Structure 1
Amino acid sequence: MFSLSGLGLLCVLWATGRLQTAAGQLVIFTSPSDSVTLPCGIPSVSPCSSVHWTMSGEFGSVTEVVKAGAVTAANRLDLLQDCSLRMNRPELNDARLYSCRSGTLESRVSLRILELTESPTPEEGTVELQCFLNTYKGHVPCNNTGIHINWSTEDNTPINGDRFHIKNPSECFSKLIIKKKVTDHHRKWRCQVTEKDVLKATISHTTTITDGVEEVFAAVGESVSLSCSHTSSLGLSDRVKWAVGGRPLTPHTLQEEHLSVACCVNEDSSLVISKVRALNAGDYQCSDTTDQRKVLNQVRLHTLDVTSQCEMGEDILTLTCVLTCKVKCEKYLNLTWSGRHHDSWTSSLMTDNSTLTNKLTLSGCAMSLDEITCSVQREGAVMASKKLHSVNSLQTPAWLALPLGLLLCAAAGGFYIKRRSNKDEANERSSIGMTHVYEVVGDVNNEEQQPRREAVTTTDSFYDLLQAVN
């Protein structure tokens, strides 16, 4: 009787000390880029010197990774104060069954690692991404209820559209087949695993398209950085040359176009435009100066701008959102409005050559615009946004503009000088830490804006940015 009672007590202790799910073990999900902690499910275990951790191996073998509280395996493992096992930079080979044991008590943890790869042999004209939960020696079919693999864009927008096809051979394995476009170059795709609608792990992959073009979106007035890929091996950004519309960025290019813009090249060879204008939209190219035929990256910049205008005498406010593309704006691009008073909005979307325009009509010129935003979407994912803060007083009805105009005239001189001073100071701050600083050239056809030069840092090479090449 005593032996049976003692055995029963041990069984109860063993059962309560074990972390159980429906499968009889705890399942933890992670991705190779993250660190993960495997909890030791034995309650009130102390000290950790009594703890042993093991992991399953091939053909049923077992490897001891922690013996009597001391790590005996790779230096990527750490034993924490609560006896949990922390794993840094997990690898696919780490997806195994782990056991924490102390005396007669034991708990088990199954580690699943989310993997995302690109098929080397996709169907012609497509890109195939494969996402799966990896276990030891690769993917095995699973029947875990409640586990789902989902696909999304970089901003977590679910993927949908005619050129996307998703196949799910099992709950732990999914394929995303993409009808390839040149603008899929350097696009990020995200795979996520959920269990009972709770996000457990996520991983992303960037596609590279041969002779592809990277799409970048920027709001007018903001800064943007255009990356020059694979330049880390070059060592020096001086070996990189930027061009726009096929023409090198040089002082001569700027003077021909009579354009004005400040920008620079960072130490990582990226091209930075400090204040984007609508006419900056275009195709930019980064190449190696030692081999002009070696194109490192091609970037297509689209610009987004919003303006407001009040109809005199009718008290109707019209907001115009314009996306400027170097070539014709594709059908997968869209402009949307968001903010207050959504129920009373009337908008219209128009495409004209290289621009996409969305006009929003509102009643009341004096209304606040602080929460009204126009966004450009690429296949449903928001790429850039521009918010309107207030209505330009010079676009209000004449009876409001007259007294305001008198005040503006009285203060015009001092305000103009102060604005010029603040702008010069801002430009000097923006040049700090940059390798090359571009000239600022004024419009020679405008008598009120005389050409001037910004102070530049001393370098062996410098370029000037062409604002637009048509």
Structure 2
Amino acid sequence: MSDNNHLCLLGLIFLSSLLTGVSGVDDAHVFISSGEDVRLSCNNALHDCTSTTWNYNRFSHSTTVELIALGRKKDTERHERLSLGSDCSLNIRNISTEDSGSYSCQQWTGVGGERLRPDAGVYLHVLHVSSSQTEISAGLSVTLFCQLYSYPRVSCGDSVDSERIDLFWVNQAGVKLRSDSRYQISSSSDPCIISLNTTLLNEDHNREWRCEVTHRDQVKSSVTYTVKSSAEAGSTTAVIPVHSTHSQDPSTTNTHTTKVIVSIVEFAVFAAPTVILLQIICTRRAGRKDSQQPAEIEKNTITE
């Protein structure tokens, strides 16, 4: 085979390998509010889940906890809340702050076997709101605490994928609250927590304050605190939390996977015509070589 044919073959192999494996597996970040359900994608899954193992790490755990082993649930304290999706994703119901942490999806050939692919890591961040009081009345003050639980522990203002994570309190109109004569806002960077203190008024019936966590200047999850008045005059009851529809909406769920899919489509649009062009060039060159062979054979015969 000629050098030109070698180059054509190498070009096709190179582009084919790019199309079948556009990028490596990166860690993803998922934000959710406590009490909700979450789906953690396994970005290195094979055609079935019999090779899939899910592990979990948290600061309070000294060792790795195996949640799913080769497609089967392990007997853990969260057994009833866990399930494995058809795409090997890990589903967790009724998320609590204890579920925050680092998850990894692995692919193995079997028990005591070899790892087939690099781990797919997922960091789960859980947003939770608590109150200093449950039964309150007009004229009394209340403090709301909003904290983001993460492992490794994230500080407010820290960067994830070179972007900041921040917490904010906003009113019903979505306007960020700042300290003034009505509200006292204070925050701590480590742990990532922001508090809101205010004195309730009679007109605060059905008042909502929402805590939002942003990443890359986009709202990833939020929890709403609502004050409901009871039948007794002047008496109010704190209702917490009401989970906002902002929490991991489809446009922000698993942004890493979305970006990879977009990259694949964009790359395929560019690479597919290049592959076809290489095939045409190689075919034409092969045809020219075949058309020249009879003449070369005749020439050699006359010479002899």
TM range (shorter): 0.5 to 0.7
Is 1:148 aligned to 2:166, yes or no?
yes
Is 1:183 aligned to 2:203, yes or no?
yes
One-letter identity of the residue aligned with 1:18: V
Separation of aligned partners in 1, 2:86 and 2:121: 18
Identity %: 27
Among 41, 62, 82, the residue aligned to 1:39: 41
Residue 16 to residue 62, structure 1, CA distance change in 2 (3 Å): farther
CA displacement 1:297-342 (0-9 Å, x = unmatched): 869xxxxxxxxxxxxxxxxxxxxxxxxxxxxxxxxxxxxxxxxxxx
Separation of aligned partners in 2, 1:59 and 1:70: 22
Question: Structure 1: any 5+ residue segments left out of the alignment?
Answer: 1-14, 20-24, 209-213, 215-228, 230-285, 287-294, 300-470
Separation of aligned partners in 1, 2:154 and 2:203: 34
CA displacement 1:415-446 (0-9 Å, x = unmatched): xxxxxxxxxxxxxxxxxxxxxxxxxxxxxxxx
Is 1:93 aligned to 2:93, yes or no?
no
Residue of structure 1 in register with 2:302 after alignment: none
Alignment of 1:89-238 (within 5 A): 89-103=94-108, 104=115, 105-120=118-133, 125-135=140-150, 141=155, 143-144=158-159, 145-159=163-177, 162-170=181-189, 172-207=192-227, 214=229, 229=230
Residue 296 to residue 136, structure 1, CA distance change in 2 (3 Å): farther
TM-score (norm 1): 0.37
SS at match of 1:40: coil
CA displacement 1:371-402 (0-9 Å, x = unmatched): xxxxxxxxxxxxxxxxxxxxxxxxxxxxxxxx
Separation of aligned partners in 1, 2:235 and 2:199: 20
> Based on CA coordinates, which of the two structures has the bigger radius of gyration?
1
Residue of structure 1 in register with 2:71 after alignment: 69
Residue 50 to residue 179, structure 1, CA distance change in 2 (3 Å): same
Task: Please tell me whether the aligned partners of residues 164 and 177 of structure 1 are also in contact (alpha carbons under 8 angstroms).
Answer: yes
SS at match of 2:80: coil
Residue 132 to residue 179, structure 1, CA distance change in 2 (3 Å): same
Separation of aligned partners in 2, 1:47 and 1:140: 34
Residue 60 to residue 41, structure 1, CA distance change in 2 (3 Å): farther
Separation of aligned partners in 1, 2:235 and 2:209: 20
Residue of structure 1 in register with 2:253 after alignment: none
Task: Please tell me whether the aligned partners of residues 17 and 41 of structure 1 are also in contact (alpha carbons under 8 angstroms).
Answer: no
Deviation at 1:75, TM superposition (A): 1.7
Alignment of 1:43-442 (within 5 A): 45-57=46-58, 58-72=60-74, 73=76, 74-103=79-108, 104=115, 105-120=118-133, 125-135=140-150, 141=155, 143-144=158-159, 145-159=163-177, 162-170=181-189, 172-207=192-227, 214=229, 229=230, 286=231, 295=232
Separation of aligned partners in 2, 1:173 and 1:141: 9
Separation of aligned partners in 1, 2:202 and 2:142: 11
Deviation at 1:159, TM superposition (A): 3.1
Task: Please tell me whether the aligned partners of residues 96 and 136 of structure 1 are also in contact (alpha carbons under 8 angstroms).
Answer: yes
Q: Give 1 or 2: higher helix fraction.
A: 2
Task: Please tell me whether the aligned partners of residues 93 and 136 of structure 1 are also in contact (alpha carbons under 8 angstroms).
Answer: no
Deviation at 1:183, TM superposition (A): 3.2
Separation of aligned partners in 2, 1:26 and 1:47: 21
One-letter identity of the residue aligned with 1:169: S
Deviation at 1:119, TM superposition (A): 2.6
Task: Please tell me whether the aligned partners of residues 94 and 136 of structure 1 are also in contact (alpha carbons under 8 angstroms).
Answer: no
Separation of aligned partners in 2, 1:178 and 1:54: 42
Question: Structure 2: any 5+ residue segments left out of the alignment?
Answer: 1-21, 109-114, 237-304
Deviation at 1:164, TM superposition (A): 1.4
Task: Please tell me whether the aligned partners of residues 177 and 185 of structure 2 are also in contact (alpha carbons under 8 angstroms).
Answer: no
Separation of aligned partners in 2, 1:125 and 1:298: 10
User: Number of residue pairs matched?
Assistant: 194
One-letter identity of the residue aligned with 1:190: R
TM-score (norm 2): 0.56
Task: Please tell me whether the aligned partners of residues 206 and 227 of structure 2 are also in contact (alpha carbons under 8 angstroms).
Answer: yes
CA displacement 1:209-233 (0-9 Å, x = unmatched): xxxxx4xxxxxxxxxxxxxx4xxxx
Separation of aligned partners in 2, 1:178 and 1:298: 16
Q: Give 1 or 2: higher strand fraction.
A: 1
